[in-house]
Structures are given as structure tokens and as C-alpha cells.
Chains A and B, each alone.
Chain A
Amino acid sequence: MLSFNAAKQLGDFALDVSFESDGRVTGLFGASGTGKTSIINMIAGLQTPDRGRIVLDNDVLDDTTARTHVPAHRRRIGCVFQDARLFPHLDVAQNLDYGRRMNGLPRDADDIRRVETLLDIAPLRARRTGQLSGGERQRIALGRALLARPRLLLLDEPLASLDEARKAEILPYLVRLRDETRVPMVYVSHDADEMRQLATQVVMLKGGRAVAVGGLALLPT
């Protein structure tokens, strides 16, 4: 369960959002410039709210009145960004293994196999990141985040930079991810169709506020 309640001034733009997730896939829906990415960055610990409180499963991650701020690397919150952000000096296998190494987790062949099967990425292991298509890059980024064993997965418009064909290629993997892993997710998108296929709950954002929180019926048709 994620409870988010934070305000941050971003230039001329004032973000002040509060919502609680249902613990499955929370969709943050809104046009660009509504502060979606800042919300993701605050949950991940990459940005600090000016004031507010962010709590995940009873762990306080941020509390500005108590001056609490858990740094990103101690949050165990995975991120998949619009640009996959694979490490170019490492090959695919090393990218996938990075989170396990940094968290000091034991090597788990079953876990690797499970994630590789889920995302169909086993044949890509030996490649350099420059030899991957956009869709492949996003699947590796997903696998890399999952293999770090996150408590929560943040997906910030993971399909936005892909063309329609690639989107159609990745979307089924995201659905499988939702149905086959137990990792709760926060999914950011400005695409209502995408949201309908993935989210279990929707937070409608407008002008830096959460104007409605509820079911998929909130989405525009």
C-alpha cells in the first residue's frame, strides 16, 4: 500500500497531490505537464517534496515535518523510464544483474529464468545495449528493475517513445507482469487505452492536483 501526499513547487508550477494506491496497478493519468514524472521521482526518492508524507507498507519514505527522507538506493523501488536508461558500458546480462549486485542479493537462477521467460529476453543476454531495438530495450529495463526485487515498480510512460507496433509488442508483457508477479505498480500514462488495459485504479491529474481517484470508469472514452 502506497500513501502519497506531497507538495512541490516546480518553477511556476505548483504540484500538490494526494492519493492512496490499492496495492495493484495504480494509473496516474493526465496530459503532459501535469506533474506525473515529478510524482514518480518523489516516490522513487530522486526528488524530495517541499512538504508532505510518502509511506509504503507502513515504512515512512518521506516526512517533511519529521525531516525523514529515505534515499533512493535504500527504498527498493524499481523504476522503468520512458528512455530505458540501460547502462551502455555493460552488456545485457550485466545490466540485468546490476540490481542484485547492488542490493547484495544471492544469485537466484530460478528468479532469472522466470523473469527472462516472462519477458522473452533470454536470447538477448550476450548483446551490447547498442544492438537492441526500442522494444527490446524496454523489456531489458523491465527485467533489470524486476531482478532487483523491488517492493514497488514505477513505470513512467514506458511505451511513450515507441511506435504503435512496438507498443503492441510490449503491452502484453506488461499485462503478464501485472498478472504473474505480485509486485504492485504505479503506471504513468497519457494514453487512455493503455491505461484501460493495465490499471486497476486510476488517479486523474490536472494542473498539479489529483482531481479524482477511482476505477477505470474515470478514464475518458
Chain B
Amino acid sequence: MLDITPDEWTAIALSLRVALVATVVATPLGIALAWLLARRDFWGKGLIDALVHLPLVLPPVVTGYLLLLTFGRRGAIGAWLAENLGIVFAFKWTGAALACGVMSFPLLVRPIRLSIEAVDRRLEQAASTLGAAPWRVFWTITLPLAWPGVLAGMVLGFAKAIGEFGATITFVSNIPGETQTISAAIYSLIQTPDGDTAALRLVIVSVVIAMAALVMSEWLARRATLRLHGN
């Protein structure tokens, strides 16, 4: 029962790679955006906030289709990227990473934003009276104090990216070895006669990965509280 076949390993490895790349690339962007939303007031802030959360409430198939329209071969951005930088998303694992990154972005940004908001602004003020320019205040005070929240956001985003299905399959299809992640593989297996045991194996793998991510994020949150009290 628990003998995982090479094909299944391929799907698991691909899922991990896609989710890891999506998380690593999205994190700096997520931190910047979380900081803007937590610390700055600007025109259009509500709109940005809504845009970040949009993938959470939009049907995934809609997000996937919008990605196809913009980042596909003939999409406005996709065509430009392919022509000028040689980056192709359509039907590639990179496209799966893009879809996962977009879909997990709201879950990534939220804990980071909350942890930045929780950083006492009076500490940032104290740092500036000690000679720290705003960007150094961010690097030496805000980010270190918000770091456990950043890690929690990364873990949550990663877990979401691992499980992403709708947007990915719409955008880059379900190609074994290229874009067939665990979820897509389970979907294919369920539709195959005698695929039940294999599907169940992958289901167990998904549950284990998701549980591990949640436990880790809980542990990180506890550390954050300790740290903010200077112990």
C-alpha cells in the first residue's frame, strides 16, 4: 500500500519544487506589500488590499484563466517575457509556480502584515532617535521582530501552494513530469479505473505535508510571542 511508485514520486517532487519556488519568489514581494499595507497610508490602498485578497474569493478557475490571458504565450505579459527574457510560463512547471504563487499570496501576506502591525512603533521611533534611517529601522527592528510572522506566512503559503489545483490546471494543464502536481495526479488517478490505491497514497502524503506545515506555523507563532517579550 505504501510503496510509492516513481511516477508518484515525480508528482511529489514537482509539487515540492513548485511550492518552494512559488514561496521563495513571493516572500520578498509579500514582505514589501505587507509593510506598505501595515505602515503606510496612500491613495488606492484599499484597492491594493482587495487585489491581494482576490485569489482567495475568486473561483480558482477564473484566476487560472486570467493568468492564461496575461501570462500565456499570446498574453500581453507572457508574449513580452518569452520574447525578451526567454521566460515561458505556458504549460511549464514555472507556470504552475506562478499560479501557486498568486493563489497562496493572500495567505502569505496576512501573517506578515499582522506581525508587522504588532511591532511597537515606539520601538521604531526610538531607533530613529538613535540615528537609524527608515530603511535601517526596517532591517534592524521591524523585520527581525516580525520574522516569526514572516516564517509563518511562508509556511502557510507553502502549504496552500502544495494543494493548489484549480488555477494551476486551468493555466498550465496536467502534464506528467512538467505540470502534474500531487493534486493534479490525484485528480487523474481518481478518473482512472484501479487508480484508487495510488490516489489514496497521494492523499496521505498531502495530509502529512499539510499537517506538518500547520504544526510548524503554530510553533513559530508561539516563538514570536516569546520574542516580543524579550526572553
Partners in one complex: yes
Contact A148 B130 (CB under 8 A): yes
In whole Å, how far is A43's beta carbon from the nearest beta carbon of chain B?
10
Q: Are B126 and A85 in contact (CB under 8 A)?
A: yes
**Binary contact track A27-65/B, C-beta < 8 Å → 1, others 0:** 000000000000000001110000000000000000000
Contact across chains for A86 and B130 when beta carbons are under 8 A apart: no
Known: A128-B230, A148-B130. A81 touches B123 (CB 8 A): no
B129-A78 in contact (CB<8A): yes
Q: Which of B57-65, B131-139, B152-160, B200-208 contacts A (4 or more CB under 8 A)?
A: B131-139
Given A87-B141, A89-B144, A89-B145, the answer on whether A145 and B128 have CB atoms closer than 8 Å is no
A79 contacts the other chain (CB 8 A): yes
Chain B: minimal CB distance from A221 (Å): 34
Q: Could you tell me the distance between the alpha carbons of A101 and B42 in the complex, rounded to whole angstroms?
A: 32
| List of B residues within 8 angstroms of A45 by Cβ | 128-129
Which chain B positions have C-beta within 8 A of A73?
128-134, 137
Q: Interface size bucket, A side?
A: 20 to 34
Check B32 for interface membership: any CB of A closer than 8 A.
no
Contact at B130–A145, with CB atoms within 8 Å? yes
Interfacial chain A residues near B132, Cβ < 8 Å = 73, 98, 102
Which residues of A in the span 90-125 have a Cβ within 8 Å of any Cβ on B? 98-99, 102-103
Q: Is A88 an interface residue when CB atoms closer than 8 A count as contact?
A: yes
B40 within 8 A of A: no
The answer to whether the Cβ of A83 comes within 8 Å of any Cβ in the partner chain is yes
Question: Using Cβ atoms and an 8 Å threshold, which residues of chain B touch A78?
Answer: 129-130
Q: Is B229 within 8 A of A79, CB to CB?
A: no
Complex Cα spacing A191 to B123, Å: 26
A79–B230 CB distance below 8 A: no
Task: Give Cα A46 to B127, complex, Å.
Answer: 11
Contacts of A130 in B (CB 8 A): 229-231
Which of these, B123, B129, B136, B229, contacts A44 with CB under 8 Å? B129
A-B complex: 6 closest residue pairs judged by Cβ atoms: A88-B230, A130-B230, A129-B230, A99-B130, A102-B131, A103-B131
27 of the cross-chain contacts (CB-CB < 8 Å) are A44-B129, A45-B129, A46-B128, A71-B128, A71-B133, A73-B132, A73-B134, A77-B129, A79-B126, A83-B122, A85-B123, A87-B123, A88-B145, A89-B227, A89-B230, A98-B127, A98-B132, A99-B131, A102-B130, A102-B131, A102-B133, A102-B136, A130-B230, A131-B231, A144-B130, A145-B130, A148-B130
